[in-house]
Amino acid sequence: MPRKRNIDELREKALKSAREGIKNAYASEEYALMQAINAYRETTRSYNLAFERLSEWYGIYFPEIKISNPDMLADLAIALNTKGSVSKESIMAAVKDQERADSIYAKATATIGRSMNDEEKAALMSYAGMCKRMSEALVGIEEYLKVASKRILPNTTYLTDEKIAAELLARAGSMERLALMPASTVQLLGAEKALFKHIKFGSKPPKYGTLFKLPRITAARRDLRGRYARAYAAKIAIALKADQFTKNFIAERLMADLEESLKRIDGSPVREKPQRGQGFGGRFQRRPQGQHRMQGRKFGQQRHERA
């Protein structure tokens, strides 16, 4: 059956090409970078939660202690509870400060906290160990983020930092989508919720999303932050195009331009806060309470509809 063989062969070829296609689509490192930044953000949140719980839990046994460094608290809890008796050396190894170690030792030997039984100790130590392990994982992922952001987004990373660059990528979904975005979209990546609230309910429009994590924007004068964000977004949009298409390193020139723009913005006089609803004419005006732009709309209903 030569006909049959032919079809089998064709099928084989088509399958192979499909496999190749999938392979190529996922071969790019950007997907790994997106996973890493998402893992980093989620783990940071979980870690903060776990640390809060650890300090509260450990506070039952040793209420005199106040340590705001999560790693140190975990180390100390382990040092104070794994060996038979409390020793100055193990405390010293955890807090790395002689004076502090002495004061903790004095407090630990005369604490009014509850004394642990063995099962409690095992559970708490396991939990403290987990907290430590989470912070190690964060360090490990951060190292990768640094390398990968510089490799995939060298210009953008230069203008912002590795975490912000990676977060922009993760929010856009792919390098190509991100690179093709206009500056105004880049400026608002991460502010989707506020943006749609603005469009739907006429609340104030957001000025920045992920970009607010830039220290320069956070520290800027309140009435200038939006303009800072716009200036940044304009340059980042250009840097992204260079990262994706030309692969040239133009970030130093962009940064110089940006500094100039920021200086110009800094020179502007302090604006008075505009009166409500006098900012931008009708379209973006704040509606008086009790009115709704979407009143009488056809699609769906409000959750708290009340005629």
Separation CA 32–CA 26 (nearest Å): 9
Q: Sketch the per residue contact string, 149 through 188, with a copy of itself: x for CB under 8 A, - otherwise.
A: ----------------------------------------
The one-letter amino acid code at 65 reads: I
- Kindly tell me which residue out of 281, 282, 290, 296 binds a copy of itself, with binding defined by CB under 8 A: 290
What single-letter amino acid sits at 264? R
CB of 272 to a copy of itself, least distance (A): 29
Q: What are phi and psi of 41, to 5 degrees?
A: -65, -45
Query: Rounded to 5 degrees, what angle do the CA atoms 99, 101, 106 make?
Result: 100
Choice from 7, 15, 17, 46 touching a copy of itself (CB under 8 A): 46
Q: What is the Cα–Cα distance from 92 to 79, expressed in whole angstroms?
A: 9
Closest CA to 275 of 266, 285, 267, 261: 285
Could you give the string, one character per residue 10-39, with x where binding to a copy of itself holds by CB under 8 A and - elsewhere? ---------x--xx--xxxx-xx--xx-xx
Residue 219 contacts a copy of itself per CB under 8 A: no
Q: Which amino acid type is present at position 145?
A: L
**Tell me, what amino acid is at 295?**
Q
Q: Name the DSSP class of 103.
A: H
For position 57 contacting a copy of itself by CB under 8 A, the verdict is yes
Q: What 8-state DSSP symbol labels residue 245?
A: I
Q: Applying CB under 8 A, which part among 97-105, 136-144, 191-199, 275-283 lies near a copy of itself?
A: 136-144
200 versus 253: smaller Cβ distance to a copy of itself: 200
Quote the CA–CA distance of 209 and 157 in Å, as a whole number: 17
The residues of the shown chain that bind a copy of itself, judged by CB under 8 A, are 19, 22-23, 26-29, 31-32, 35-36, 38-39, 42-43, 46, 49-50, 53-54, 56-57, 60, 63, 112-114, 116-117, 119-120, 122-123, 125-127, 129-130, 133-134, 136-137, 139-141, 143-145, 147-148, 289-292, 302-307
